[in-house]
Structures are given as C-alpha cells and as structure tokens.
Amino acid sequence: MQLRYDEDFIEAAAFLCASGRRKGVPSLQIARFQREREKLYSILDPDERNTAFFKLHLDWFREWGLEKLITDLLKEFPLLPEKLSVLAVRKTRGKNDEGAELYVNETNQRSAILALRPESFERDAALRDYVRHEFTHLSDMLDPAFGYAPTLDLPGLNGAQQRLARERYRLLWDITIDGRLAADGYTPMAARAQHAAAFSRGYSFWPEEKQAETFDILWQTRSPRHAELLALIADPRGLREAHRPAPGASCPLCDFPTFTWADTEALLPGITTRIVADFAAWTPEQGLCGRCLETYEAATALQMTMP
C-alpha cells in the first residue's frame, strides 16, 4: 500500500509545527526548517521550486513524527495495507469534511482518502482517537465478513426518508465502532451514554425495553454486519406499526420532533391518498404531526374548491 499526502496538507502540518503550536518541537529545529525553506525561493523554475517545497515539507513532516502517528495506527488495522493500493491523506475543506472514504475503480482496486485538519496535530491523543475510529470504518468496509455495500438498498423510500435512513445507518455503525474501541481499552469518539441517548431519540417509537436490548447488542458486538444494520433501518413500517409514536419523536413526514400527533384514525380518505402520493412507504400507523396534517388538510380543501 502506498501512503500519499496532499501538498496543502503537508505544508499546513509543517507550518503548524514551525509556528510553535505543536508542543515539543525544538526551537533550533524550527530555525533550521525556516532557513532551509528560505533557500528554496532561489530556485527559478516554478515546477522545480514546488517539488522542492513539497519534499522539504514532507521531510519535516516525518522528522517531527507526524507520519509516525499515522503509520503506528495503520499497524492496528492489517486489512488496510493488505487490501488498499493507496491511502491518501488530504487537508479538509472544513470540519464537516473530515473522515475516511473508500473508492473502488473499474479494475476493482481499492484506495482510500483520509481527510484531516492539520491543526489536529496539536493534540496527539485526540488525533489518535479520531483516526482510529475512521480506520475502523475503513477496516469494516474492507472486511468481507462485514459485507459492506456502497449504496443502501432501500426501495420505496422518498428523498427525506432515504436521508433519515442514512443518518440512522451511520448512527448504528458508529455505535458498533465505539463499542469495540471501548472494549479494547481505547477512548471512543462518544461515550456509551451519549450513543444510548442518540439511539433512543432515533428509535423513540420503540418501547424502552426494546431500545435498551438492541442498543446493548450493537454496543457489545465484535462482528457487526452490514445486512444487520440495514435491517434496522430498512423497514420503517415494520418498526412503527405496532406502537403509537412517542411524544417528542420525529414526524415521519417532516422529520421534526413533535409532541402533537394527529389522530390518524380520523383521517379523511382524500388526505391519506395525498400523503401516500408524496410518501409511498407511509402508513397511518406511523402517524404524522399536527402541522403536517394541517398542511394536507389545507391542500385537500383547496383542491376540492377548484372547478
């Protein structure tokens, strides 16, 4: 496996060390880095100068032990160097851009990109926790036993429901990852209590006993499966039909939390028809909030008054 770096990432990480923001960097090394860098401005050819800058930044990236943080973590995940042809590390475009992604080309070669904020190197422990979490994502995706699929097979769901399903899938997957990391003695990205609260919000339509039982299984599993996670998000009707929505749960139509649920037993047939036209997988048992009901009542009334 080749380990590659984005030029902007290497430069920003080297500058962070040279600025004194990373603890433990000797001042004499910073002075030498600055002298060596200043000399490169004398190179007249732009391409040669850029190449020289990249080599200098990469040399100091290694000298200051930044690469070792990544390579040491890679040793914990043998599937990554075994199955990846390339792991590229790039600079994030923003905090929400952080994370690891897997790519497969037409010849079935696998490569991955790890997006990091250079300022993460200010705190080694937090960086290790984060990268270890993301490498676990990649390891799961590369593990045939996990059975990863790049797209979620969720037929019959509209755009909003697809988005909600993807969010739930990420939540479930993160629970299994942090549960394994915690069991191995590492610091998870979120504590068990935080994950339990998020799971309870996402599955508030379940009885508390079922929530607790399912969460425990997810947190304790050593070998999660994509198909098992998919089963927990792929059938909203099956999940909801036996239980009245709980106060504060999300409306299946607008996805906003509500304490005002409409009486679906009193819905006029025309309203039910309009809702199903917009949300093909919706059933009255899933419920809807009072605001959504008002919207559909108004639309139905308007249609009835039109010539």
Look at residue 300 in the predicted model and tell me its pLDDT: 78
* Strand ranges, E, within 152-215: none
Q: Are 48 and 60 in contact (CB under 8 A)?
A: no
Asked if the structure places residue 109 within a domain, the reply is yes
Asked if the structure places residue 52 within a domain, the reply is yes
At residue 182, the 3 state secondary structure works out as: helix
- Size of the chain, expressed as the number of residues it contains: 307
Look at residue 160 in the predicted model and tell me its pLDDT: 72
Looking at residues 106-112, what average pLDDT do you find? 93
Least Cα distance to 102 among 163, 143, 58, 157 occurs for 143
Torsion of CA 214, 219, 225, 230, to 10 degrees: 50
Q: Give the sign of the dihedral formed by CA 154, CA 159, CA 164, CA 170.
A: positive
Domain that holds residue 68: 2-142
List the structure tokens of 170: 């990420």
Residues 22 and 123 in one domain: yes
Asked if the structure places residue 185 within a domain, the reply is yes
Q: Grade residue 46 by pLDDT with cuts at 50, 70 and 90.
A: very high
Residues 20 and 133 in one domain: yes
Residues 16 and 116 in one domain: yes
Residues 130 and 12 in one domain: yes
Residues 181 and 92 in one domain: no
| pLDDT above 80 (res 263) | yes
- Decide which of 185, 212, 234 is a domain's last residue: 234
Residues 116 and 78 in one domain: yes
List the structure tokens of 233: 């998000």
How many independent structural domains does the chain possess? 3
Asked if the structure places residue 148 within a domain, the reply is no
**What pTM does this model have?**
0.76
- Decide which of 191, 211, 234 is a domain's last residue: 234
| pLDDT above 50 (res 62) | yes
| pLDDT above 50 (res 240) | no
Residues 185 and 262 in one domain: no
Asked if the structure places residue 32 within a domain, the reply is yes
Q: Are 134 and 100 in contact (CB under 8 A)?
A: yes
- Looking at per-residue confidence, does 307 or 302 come out higher? 302
Q: Grade residue 154 by pLDDT with cuts at 50, 70 and 90.
A: confident
Helices 66-74 and 46-63 sit at what angle, rounded to 10 degrees? 70
Asked if the structure places residue 62 within a domain, the reply is yes
Which of 133-142, 159-168, 233-242 shows the lowest mean pLDDT across its residues?
233-242
Least Cα distance to 190 among 211, 209, 171 occurs for 171
CA–CA gap between residue 77 and residue 136 (Å, rounded): 8
Residues 9 and 88 in one domain: yes
| pLDDT above 70 (res 251) | yes
Looking at residues 26-36, what average pLDDT do you find? 96
Residues 164 and 133 in one domain: no
| pLDDT above 50 (res 252) | yes
- Decide which of 142, 172, 195 is a domain's last residue: 142
Q: Are 286 and 252 in contact (CB under 8 A)?
A: yes
Residues 217 and 253 in one domain: no
Residue 249 has what DSSP assignment? P
Asked if the structure places residue 257 within a domain, the reply is yes
CA–CA gap between residue 284 and residue 71 (Å, rounded): 53
Residues 7 and 126 in one domain: yes
Burial tier of 131 (Cβ tally within 10 Å: 0-12, 13-18, 19+): buried
Q: Are 76 and 70 in contact (CB under 8 A)?
A: no
Asked if the structure places residue 240 within a domain, the reply is no
Residues 73 and 175 in one domain: no
